[in-house]
Amino acid sequence: MIIKNFGEFFEKMKGKSKCPPGVCIVEVFWSWLGSFLGIAAVAYIHYSYLEATDLTLIIGSFGASAVLVYAAITSPLAQPRNLVGGHIVSAFIGVTVYQQIPNIWIASAMAVSLAIAAMLVTKTLHPPGGATALIAVIGSSKIHSLGYTYVIIPASSGAVLMLVIALVVNNLAKTRKYPEYWI
């Protein structure tokens, strides 16, 4: 239902909670280590083996995934189903929209919006997935030439590689446990 009173509308923007407390230096260390190793692995494989090919393994949305799976490990958005499923669903939608809608600004908006809707329906909501869909539309000719291969590499394989590293690093410390659930 649409709000009828402007005062009520603006009142909602005040917020009701306080900023959560900061994290201890140990958590900062584990988050740093996981994100460093996760992005390093993806980047190493890309720059050592794939850069000279028509394939790519590193995309910008993996930076945002790193924040979730190495620093916000208890978030529902960081769980394996969401990490891998969100990238797969969004990559597929992004490629499909790019191939079907010639207008780039409409395709950009449609890819992100459809990816969000599909992730919600499939219970794979992972915010970086929106960027994965957008990259499929606005990416380079190298990305566009991948077609549906983009779903497999980089989207699926990069997400799985980051997941494997998250499983190892996030469980090294006694105070951390990952994942919260699989399905």
Q: What is the pLDDT of residues 33-69, one digit of tens each?
A: 999 999 999 999 999 999 999 999 999 999 999 999 9
For the chain, what percent of residues have pLDDT higher than 70?
A: 99
For residue 6, tell me if it sits in a domain: no
For residue 12, tell me if it sits in a domain: no
Contact 50, 57 (CB under 8 A): yes
Output the six-digit token pair for 7: 């005062």
Interatomic CA distance for residues 124 and 91, integer angstroms: 13
Owning domain of residue 89: 22-169
pLDDT exceeds 90 at position 139: yes
Chain mean position to CA 81: 12
For residue 112, tell me if it sits in a domain: yes
Question: How many domains is the chain built from?
Answer: 1
pLDDT exceeds 90 at position 7: no
For residue 154, tell me if it sits in a domain: yes
pTM: predicted TM-score of the whole model, two decimal places: 0.93
Buried b (16+ CB within 10 A) or exposed e, 15-34: eeeeeeeeeeeeeeebbebb
Taking the CA of residue 38 as centre, how many other CA atoms within 13 Å lie in the half-sphere pointing to its CB? 32
Local confidence band at 6 (pLDDT 50, 70, 90 cut-offs): confident
